[in-house]
Amino acid sequence: MKVLQAVVILGFSTCILFSQEQDYRNTFGKDWDKAAEFINENEPWMKKLSARFNVSYPVAVAVVFPELIRYSALRDKMEITILKSLYIYAGEDYANFSVGRFQMKPSFAEAVNERSHLLKGSLRNFFPDPAAYNTAWRYRSSIVANLENPQAQFIYLIAFIRICGMTFDMGGMDEEEKVKFLSAAYNYSFLKSFEEVNLMADRKFFSTKLVASEYYSYSDISLAWFRSFNR
């Protein structure tokens, strides 16, 4: 009888988990499907880069999956057209906009650049050295050029994950815990403390609309995709 009860409880828990994940898929509808389609179409080169730099492909994609849902090609082109020059010539204080499929901001890219000395080999060599540019606007221009390239963006993502691995103590985490933590760090800030990032993991402050009417946990969406991928 106890064994039967355990099986029933386990089955009930699985149904609840599946239902929660289905809710996200239903909530975002076509936007979820478009995000999944982008992953399927670009999986070969993303897997290749993940393997090259020894980063889990499912974890990496899970971290940015909510951004893929939110991505809007029209909005992205508008923001680049209006704000790109402002950022290049005036800096992030005047224009810090989201770019590309993974919705990366120049401030995020600059933060990765500033910590790229923690990386090794060809991954370290990818990132522009500010000292190599004779003007600040040329350096920022190189960042914008990278952010407009999906493969370059993915390398920024890989570097972010590697830097987090050296900055935070994630040794005792399983992959699902890493997905939640890294997703929170990506969406909130990897410049915060371990405790601050952890506190943000379950907070609902992510929206897929320009005018937000409902907020979700960024990390929960990432985890839902990660579980569906593994299933």
pLDDT at residue number 19 = 36
Alpha carbon distance 61, 78 (integer Å)? 25
In tens, the pLDDT along 8-60 reads 333 434 433 443 444 888 888 888 999 999 999 999 999 999 999 999 999 99
For residues 63 and 120, is the Cβ–Cβ distance under 8 A?
no
Locate 207 and state its tokens.
């929206």
Q: Which helix (H) or strand (E) holds 70?
A: helix 57-70
Average pLDDT across the chain, whole number: 81
Alpha carbon distance 9, 14 (integer Å)? 9
Alpha carbon distance 170, 185 (integer Å)? 12
Cα angle: 24, vertex 11, 29; to 5 degrees: 15
- Record the pTM: 0.80
For 29-230, the fitting CATH number among 1.10.3470, 1.10.530, 3.40.1130, 1.10.10 is 1.10.530
Beta-ladder partners of 206: 216
155-159, 164-168, 205-209: lowest mean pLDDT where? 205-209
Query: Can you give the residue ranges of every domain in the chain?
Result: 29-230
